Amino acid sequence: MNLSPEFSRVRIIDIDGVILRQGHGDRFATPETLPGSVEQINEWFDDGDLIVLWTSRVPSYYSMTIDQLDLFGVKYHYLITNKPLSNEIHIYDDKIIISHKLEMNAGLESLPTECDTFYEHGDLPEEEK
């Protein structure tokens, strides 16, 4: 029995620097959306993609973060806090993994048409060959 819903795509999206402007000091006090981000995320949500927002914000900012996302009308399924601060993120799965490295504060409007796709041992699936 399959208890979890099926999604054609799972999108894991950082909040600060991708959806909301990354600032300095009390950077969460006056949130500002980045170009195209809310619209793109909501389109993916409406198209049936699973939207997971993953942030380095600590759990004490959880309610404030939800309020900010609600203020701007961001649609999502899950919000995860405490993303480790790191220069690299490694994801291991048996599915195709597609990554997009965005410039800080460029928003999803800057999403490239081409993406970096990583396959285990560089093997392409048959349909990609």
Q: Which CATH number describes the domain made up of 10-128?
A: 3.40.50
pLDDT tier, 45 (very low <50, low <70, confident <90, very high otherwise): very high
Per-residue pLDDT tens digits for 89-103:
888 888 888 887 888
Token look-up 């208890």 returns 3
Q: What confidence score (pLDDT) does residue 129 get?
A: 42
Helix ranges restricted to H, the chain = 37-46, 62-71
Q: How far apart are CA 58 and CA 21, in angstroms?
A: 17
Chain center to CA of 92: 17
Closest CA to 95 of 11, 4, 5: 11
Closest CA to 30 of 42, 18, 16: 16
- Asked if pLDDT for residue 38 goes beyond 80, the answer is yes
pLDDT tier, 20 (very low <50, low <70, confident <90, very high otherwise): very high
For the chain, the farthest-separated pair of C-alpha atoms sits apart, in whole angstroms, at 49
pTM for this one?
0.79
pLDDT: which is higher, 72 or 111: 72
- Asked if pLDDT for residue 52 goes beyond 70, the answer is yes
**CB-based contact 55:15 (threshold 8 Å):** yes
Closest CA to 67 of 11, 123, 15, 127: 15
Q: What confidence score (pLDDT) does residue 106 get?
A: 85
